[in-house]
Structure 1
Amino acid sequence: MRLEQPWSPQWLFEAGHHVVDTGGAVLGANDVATTAGAIKWQPPVRLPRVDDNVNVGSNADSQNRRLAGEVALAALWRRAATANSIGVHGKTDIRPPKTLQGNTRGARFKNALLYSFRLGLPSDWIIEGELPLEKIYGLHLRRDVGARSSDIVVFDERKRLVAVISSKWTWRSDRGTEAAQMVPLRRYRPDVPYVLVTSEVPRLRNIADESAEDRIYCVCPEWAAAVVTLRELGDPRVGPIKFSTLSALLTEGERLIEVLQLRDVTNLIDDLRTSGRLG
């Protein structure tokens, strides 16, 4: 706490980073630099961007809370990636080859979900992306359905509609499109569950409180909850003391996920497999 930074260096050490001082010496968590000057983290710490819009005029505490969350998320991601042999064969930059922007990141997110569902669900199930709602039985020939499409739909081996899935990279405040899509679905096919899958981080509580979908699934919800936990601290400098390790931070994230009743996207495949098997 000598520098009063809002994040713990231990998070980065646990993720496999190390520190090099100006003399070239590699330092551990409790080592003293051999020479004066700035240190460098190796591999370089690449912070994720989890906010659509960053208020550059925000106060120091707000900026520190955001920084702490970004460092924690970067550490959690790298620790999980290296534990699964991702990016460890001489390649330290494990980001996508191109920056994901605009609609591209949403399309890639949806395609990743389609790939996962087709891989994890039975081979005789049908998983479609961007299926016009008017193609679904019960919604056909309805005047108020129009040209709307679903992000992802899942049919079982009997071609029963198991679920309609909304795929959202972030959960934006403008929910008009989703609301308009849900009206005919609720009206004509109330038997079909409508679920949301998202990689949202800062608005995690909003999802739990305001989403109209039947169930919500998040990408790595414990990680997102850990970020939210750090952002909600009254004093961001408390973070490194209260959550000195990634394990301590994840424990708090798991507690918050239980309170918000959010599920991991990996649970969705199991839920699709086991739900509604009779009738």
Structure 2
Amino acid sequence: MSYSVIKSLLLPPGILILLFITAFLLVRGVLGRLVLFAALSIFTLMTLSPVATLLMEPLELYPALGIAMPIPSAAQAIVILSSGRITNAPEYGGDTLDDLSLRRVRYGALLQRQTGLPLYVSGGKLPTEAQPLAELIAEVLRTDYGITVAGMESNSQTTWENAEYTAQLLKPAGITHILLVSDAWHLPRAVEAFANTGLTVTPAPTGFVHHPGWQQELTYRNWLPSARAFQLSYYAIHEHLGRVWYQIRSWQQGAPAPAAEV
């Protein structure tokens, strides 16, 4: 047995799968075994990289901008959507951006340098948080990339609100066509929400999980349980459920409110 196999079985989530199996063998009663088997099966599948990629693949609808798809000349601005934060990071003396937000910022900065378009950022805060995510993004863009944002939307807490409040910021400035930066798997939900406000949206995806032909590149290591695969499965399931919820919400309440025309 190779080192990589031993390591994947002794570290989470592998060790948890082994404990699930042990519990299944020890438990008595049909119902208890059924529940344990269901939990073991779902948990194990979520920790496998091919399963996580399969869950992500139908979400990553849009190709890389500027590579597989040209950047439209009609675009008037770039909008970066926030993801999350690291709270009280001691090395930064306070809150800072999490990895998902940082990779969106990096790609947004690249697009801004390629196009020269004004850059807008979107993201609010919870009541217990001191600084909106939009301000954290603007700070990173200024200090790390030398880019000053053209505007910040700092009241949203969901993708739905990102769209609604950002449209209210952009429309008075005469901006109707944007490049929307987010993770590839998040963009289907985000693009739909922004398009429903009346904006023309060109998706600008980053953080791709899958690529053409990925199935042919699988090795036995890809079938070992991993924490990263479990996290990707979580994101994918969250997005699939989020798209369903937004569809239900739009039926009940209508789409995110369009901004008033100037």
TM-score by length of 2: 0.31
TM-score by length of 1: 0.29
Larger relative contact order (Cα-Cα within 8 Å, sequence gap ≥ 6): 2
Greater share of helix:
2
